[in-house]
Amino acid sequence: MLTHLLGTEFFPNMSDGILFVEDIAEHPYRVERMMLQLHFADVLNKQKAIVFGDFSAYKLASFDNAYNFDEMIKYLRETLAVPVITGLPFGHIKDKVTLVIKIYCSENKMPNRKIGHFLLVLNTKLTQNYRKIN
């Protein structure tokens, strides 16, 4: 839906935010195409990070040449100037985190930018940090 709003008066102001993205049954090449459309429209470079939630229930075909979600994420990380984070459990899944809207977020530096479990910490300035916990 987001890419369909590009160039219209309905596209939101998306500067200095963290873009959370998820979908179900969406092929990696289509997700890549949408992300590149946002990139070339200079939307993604204005973000602090892009966080991918659950992308499941897609089926690769023989002509996909094994271009799966992990390969697509690898390409985006090589192409985009902002952090691309995976593994945040939100979207069309049973067990998920609640995303709090309209508060400031920051990312703790993690070596491989893949997040497992999350601890949401709010301080008095309404900022939140995701910290990896075991």
**pLDDT tens-digit readout, 10-26:** 888 888 888 989 888 88
pLDDT tens digits, 74-96: 999 999 999 999 888 877 778 87
| Residues 53, 91 contacting (CB under 8 angstroms) | yes
Token output for 78:
């090589």
Q: Interior CA angle at 51 toward 45 and 55, to 5°?
A: 125
CATH superfamily of 14-133: LD-carboxypeptidase A C-terminal domain-like (3.50.30.60)
| Residues 36, 6 contacting (CB under 8 angstroms) | no
Residue 29 has φ and ψ, to the nearest 5°, of -65, -30
* Spatial distance between the Cα atoms of 75 and 114, rounded to a whole number of angstroms: 15
Q: Report the predicted TM-score, pTM, of the whole model to 2 decimal places.
A: 0.71
pLDDT tens digits, 20-74: 898 888 899 999 999 999 999 999 999 989 999 888 888 888 888 888 999 999 9
| Domain regions of the chain by residue span | 14-133
Residue 75 has φ and ψ, to the nearest 5°, of -65, -45
The 10 Å Cβ neighbour count of residue 7 is 9
- E strand or H helix at 33, and its extent? helix 28-40
